């Protein structure tokens, strides 16, 4: 893992360390389903994106439901041309040079000026279909590629993508540690399986 290079910019281990040191997601609002991605997993995911040729210094990135911005900031550190973090909960916002924030609901984002969308949205476990506006915003946007982290149990992502003119596949899986307040829907000891989908236009 140490020697995986993220293009000319950074090695995977350094990216994981930088992301692990971000101010943590405040985890304050259960109704917003704030499951934060950990630094190591975020870095592995971003390395996968770079290796697939979906992220380079030309790429404009938008992170929807950004939380502390870990995914978007990871893309920024891997060399993205620009990074916009869209997050409803202002308590998540912190100063980070080189990235912009849009503090507001996902539907307030225009969908313009984007090549790559990365997101770990609310999964819809607390509020049914809370992920829907995120999926629709992504598939209606100008992006050419969309990466989504969701519960490995989710079965609706590909059918919805296909109905909106996109196609894709699962490219990465992992186990996700849940904060204690979510333990009522854990599958094992505070851990739940996640998958990452990569979607492109059909």
Residue 164 CA, chain-centre distance (Å), reads 20
Of the residues 12, 22, 25, 84, which one makes contact with ligand SAH according to CB under 6 A: 25
Tell me the residue ranges of DSSP E strands in 19-134.
60-64, 82-87, 100-103, 116-119
Please report how close the Cβ of residue 69 comes to ligand SAH at its closest, in angstroms: 8
Q: What is the DSSP string of 105-174?
A: -GGGS---S-SEEEE----SSSSTTTTHHHHHHHHTSS-SEEEEEEETT--SHHHHHHHTTEEEEEEEEE
Interaction between residue 105 and ligand SAH (CB under 6 A): yes
If the CB atoms of residues 10 and 36 are measured against ligand SAH, the closer one turns out to be 36
Site size toward ligand SAH (CB under 6 A) is 23
Residue 87 in contact with ligand SAH, rule: CB under 6 A: yes
Q: Which of 43, 46, 71, 161 binds ligand SAH (CB under 6 A)?
A: 71
> What is the C-alpha to C-alpha distance for residues 130 and 135, in angstroms, rounded to an integer?
10
Closest CA to 105 of 81, 129, 130, 142: 130
Q: According to CB under 6 A, which residues from 34 to 63 bind ligand SAH?
A: 34-37
| 32 interacts with ligand SAH by CB under 6 A | yes
Which residue in the set 43, 61, 80, 120 belongs to the binding site for ligand SAH (CB under 6 A)?
120
Interface contacts to ligand SAH, rule CB under 6 A: 25, 32-37, 65-67, 70-71, 86-89, 92, 105-106, 120-122, 133
């Amino acid at each position: 893992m140490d020697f995986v290079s993220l293009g000319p910019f950074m090695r995977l281990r350094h990216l994981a360390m930088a992301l692990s040191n971000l101010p943590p997601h405040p985890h304050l609002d259960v109704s917003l389903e704030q499951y934060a991605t950990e630094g190591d997993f975020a870095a592995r995911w971003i390395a996968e994106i770079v290796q697939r040729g979906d992220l380079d210094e030309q790429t404009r990135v938008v992170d929807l439901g950004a939380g502390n911005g870990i995914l978007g900031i990871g893309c920024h550190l891997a060399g993205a041309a620009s990074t916009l973090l869209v997050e409803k909960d202002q308590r998540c916002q912190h100063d980070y040079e080189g990235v912009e924030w849009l503090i507001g609901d996902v539907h307030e984002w225009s969908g313009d000026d984007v090549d790559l969308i990365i997101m770990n949205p609310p999964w819809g476990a607390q509020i049914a279909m809370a992920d829907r506006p995120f999926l629709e915003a992504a598939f209606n946007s100008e992006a050419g590629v969309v990466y989504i982290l969701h519960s490995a149990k989710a079965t609706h992502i590909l059918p919805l993508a296909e109905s909106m003119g996109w196609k894709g596949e699962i490219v990465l899986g992992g186990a996700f540690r849940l904060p204690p307040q979510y333990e009522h829907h854990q599958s094992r000891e505070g851990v739940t399986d996640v998958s990452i989908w990569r979607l492109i236009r059909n």
